[in-house]
Amino acid sequence: MPSDQLRVWLTDSRPLSGKRLGGTKGTYLRDGSEVVTALTHSGRSNNDRVYVPKRSRVRRAGGPAGRAVERDGAGSRIRSSRLATVLAGLVLALLGFVPTADASVAAAVPINSYDQSGYIYDGTPHTYDRLDHFALAHAITTAAVTLAADAPAPPNPVSVRAVAANTTAKVLKGPIADAVPKNLPEQIALDTAKQGYGRQIMGPMGDAPRLVANYGEGEWVKMQYVLRGNTSNVTVHYFRNIDTGMDVEFKFP
Amino acid sequence: MIVRCTANSGAALPEANLDPRRGYDRTTEFPLTLGRDYTVFAITVFLGTAWYYVLDDDGLDWPTWSPSALFDVVDGAIPASWIIGYFRASAENQYPIISFPEWAQDHQFYERLVDRDPVATATFARRRVETEGVTGAGLE
C-alpha cells in the first residue's frame, strides 16, 4: 500500500454530555474502506471516567480518486493520550506505514472553517494535549521527535493563531482524578457521594475557572458528604456544577 | 457569639433556604444536636438568609455553615477583631463574611482551610482560641 495513502486521525475530546464510559477508540484506515487496525486508548480521564463525545471523527484520504473522505465532522473530538499517540506511531513505523505530510488532499476538501488542512489544533476551549497525530507519527519514523515535544510545528499560520487562542486554557491545571478509597468505609462514603449525596459548603471558589475550563460552563460549588460511623466519620469533598448536575473530583480532605 | 440549636432538619427551614441541587431540601439532616450551644466562627448570607459557621457534630477540623433558622442566639457578642468582608464573584453571586480578618479579607481562606492548608489551619486554630475565649466557650 502506498505510504501516502495512510492517514491517522485521532482527535481530542471534552466533556460533552457528561456520560461516563470506559474509553474511546481511534481507527486507522488505509486505502479504500478496509480497517487496518484499531487502537483503544484513554485520554486524560477523571480517574476511571472518560467523557465520551457524542460522535467520533474519522477521516480517510487517498482513495482512488484522491479525494478526502470525512465522516462525522465538526465539534467531535476524541480524547487521546500522548502515550497512545506515540505507540500508534511506533506501530505504524514497525508495520512500514510511513505517512507523509502531504496536505493537498485534505486541503482540497476543507474539513471545517478553521481547520483548512486537517492537521492543526482547532483552538477550541477545553481542548488539551491535542497532537497532530499524523505529523507525530511521521516524525517518529524519521527519528526527529522526542517525547518532550508538546506537538509538531503547525503547518500554517492558522495553526499559530489557533494555538494562541488556546493558551489560556492550557495554563490552567487539568482535571484531578478521583481519590482511591483505602478501606471499606471510604469506599462506601465515596460511592454514596457519587450518588449525589452531600451539601454545598461554600460559595464561589478560586477553583471555579479551572473547573469551567476542564468540565464546562456553569456554577461550580464545593460539596461535602460525611459518612457518620460509630467511632469516626469519613468525609468526601467534590465539585458540583449546579447548572448541569455534573459531579467531579471526589476526594478525602 | 453563641447560638443554640432549635432544629436540625430541612423541615424547619424557610423556603428560601431550600435548593435540592445544593443538597438542601426538606429531608436534609444537619449534624446538630437540639439544645446544644455552638460557637459561631463566621457569619455569611446564603440562599437569602444568614448562615452561621459552627463546629458541628461531624467533628471536622473546620467550621461548616448551617442556616440561622436552626438556631437561637444565646450570646450575641462578637470578638473585637472581627470585620466584615464582601466578595462579589458576579452580580448573581456575592456574599458577605463577618469573621476574623484573615477570613473576612480573603475569599479563598475558607477554601484553603477546608483543604487543610497548614497556614490556614494554624490561623483558624489561633482564632478559634480567641473566639471561644471571647464567648466563654469550650462549648461541648
Model confidence, pTM: 0.58
Dihedral (CA of B44, B49, B53, B59) sign = negative
User: Is B8 inside any structural domain?
Assistant: yes
CB-based contact B110 A221, cutoff 8 Å: no
Enumerate residues 6+ apart whose C-beta is below 8 A from A101. Answer: A119, A134, A135, A138, A155
Residues 16-75 of B with CB under 8 A from A: 21-24, 28, 31, 44, 46, 58-60, 64-65
B18-34 confidence digits (pLDDT tens): 999 999 999 999 999 99
Overall number of domains in chain B: 1
For residue B97, the model assigns a pLDDT of: 97
Q: Which tens digit of pLDDT belongs to each residue from B33-63?
A: 999 999 999 999 999 999 999 999 999 999 9
Mapping DSSP to helix (H, G, I), strand (E, B) and coil, where does residue A172 land? Answer: coil
* Vertex B121 angle, CA B120 and B124, to 5°: 85
- ipTM, two decimals, is 0.93
Would residue B140 count as lying in a domain?
Answer: no
- B99 touching chain A per CB within 8 A: no
DSSP assignment string, B13-40? S-GGG-BGGGTBSTT-B-S--TT-EEEE
pLDDT at A171: 55
Domain boundary among A148, A171, A194: A171
Chain B residue closest in CA terms to A233 = B58
CB atoms closer than 10 angstroms to residue A1:
13
- B63-120 pLDDT, tens per residue? 999 999 999 999 999 999 999 999 998 888 899 999 999 999 999 999 999 999 999 9
Chain B within 8 Å of A199 (Cβ-Cβ)? yes
Per-residue pLDDT of chain A (253 residues; tens, 9 = 90+): 444 443 433 333 333 333 333 333 333 333 333 333 333 333 333 343 333 333 333 333 333 333 333 333 343 343 444 555 545 555 545 554 444 333 333 333 344 443 444 344 343 333 333 344 444 444 444 443 344 344 444 444 444 444 444 444 455 688 999 999 999 999 999 999 999 999 999 988 888 999 999 999 999 999 999 999 988 999 999 999 999 999 999 999 9
Joined together, the cell numbers standing for residue B82 give 472581627
A195 with A79, same domain: the answer is no
Residue B97 domain-assigned?
Answer: yes
| Beta carbons of B103 and B86 less than 8 angstroms apart | no
Query: Which residue, among A176, A195, A199, A227, would best test binding to B if mutated, counting the most B CBs under 10 Å from its CB?
Result: A199
Give pLDDT, residue A91: 52
The long-range contacts involving A170-177, CB below 8 angstroms and separated by at least 24 positions, are A170/A128, A172/A209, A172/A210, A172/A213, A172/A214, A173/A210, A174/A44, A174/A128, A174/A214, A175/A44, A175/A45, A175/A46, A175/A214, A175/A215, A175/A248, A175/A249, A176/A46, A176/A249, A176/A251, A177/A45, A177/A46, A177/A47, A177/A249
Beta pairing partners, B2: B39, B75
One domain, residues A152 and A217: no
Total structural domains in chain A? Answer: 2
A219 touches chain B (CB under 8 A): yes
Same domain membership, residue A221 and residue A158: no
CA–CA separation, B123 and B117 (whole Å): 10
Residues A65 and A113 in one domain: yes
Domain that holds residue A157: 3-171
From residue B10, alpha-carbon distances to A214, A237, A251, B16 in Å are 33, 21, 26, 11
Helices (H), A16-100: 82-94
The answer as to whether A178 is a domain residue is no
Range of the domain at B86: 2-134
- The verdict on residue B139 lying in a domain is no
CA distance A13 to chain B (A): 27
How many C-beta atoms lie closer than 10 Å to residue A162's C-beta?
Answer: 20
Residues of A in contact with B60 (CB under 8 A): 226, 233, 235
